[in-house]
Structure 1
Amino acid sequence: MSITKQYLKSKPECKITFCVSAKEANKVEVAGDFNNWKLTELKKYKNGNFKAQYNLPVDKEYQFRYVIDGQWTNETEADNYKWNEFAATENAVVVV
């Protein structure tokens, strides 16, 4: 799993690419603050990676989690983790 950040020069946004290497998975989704916690499917590539991109406003942090074949999981390379009382678990955090 990985997150890449590309800060845009033309506006105060950062292009975030979520990448999950899951060759055996059928479906990978992401949900977080940036999409109102609605599950959004990542696109599957032939090499077994799943990817999605979002342009997010800078100077913020966003909580999120992946769902891999129905199982919630965190990004191993997240910038931080934050406890979520509602889910009684930690969420991954990306800071832009």
Structure 2
Amino acid sequence: MRIKFYNVTKGEFVRLLETRTITKFFAQESEVEPLKFQLLGLSDVKIGYRVRHGRENKPRFWRLDILAQFLKEHSVTAWEVQFSQDYGINKP
């Protein structure tokens, strides 16, 4: 089953958090910038939400500590972190 993702602003994402529309959270690492993560949310009916920049329809990326702080401020206590497959600590 394919999941359709909608790009939403940070404010809209917060509204979805408050209404408990989003039930699962993911921080996905950028393939271009190592250790920068985009925030994805998934609802019970398999609709996905991706946080975008306010004025542009491009994904918003955060450092993981800033992203964790944002989620904690909105009472999110569990999320999954997905690292890019192309990036590794032991990579030469």
With normalisation by structure 1, the TM-score equals 0.29
Relative to its length, the structure with more helix (as a share) is: 2
With normalisation by structure 2, the TM-score equals 0.30
Which structure is higher in RCO with an 8 Å CA cutoff and minimum separation 6? Answer: 2
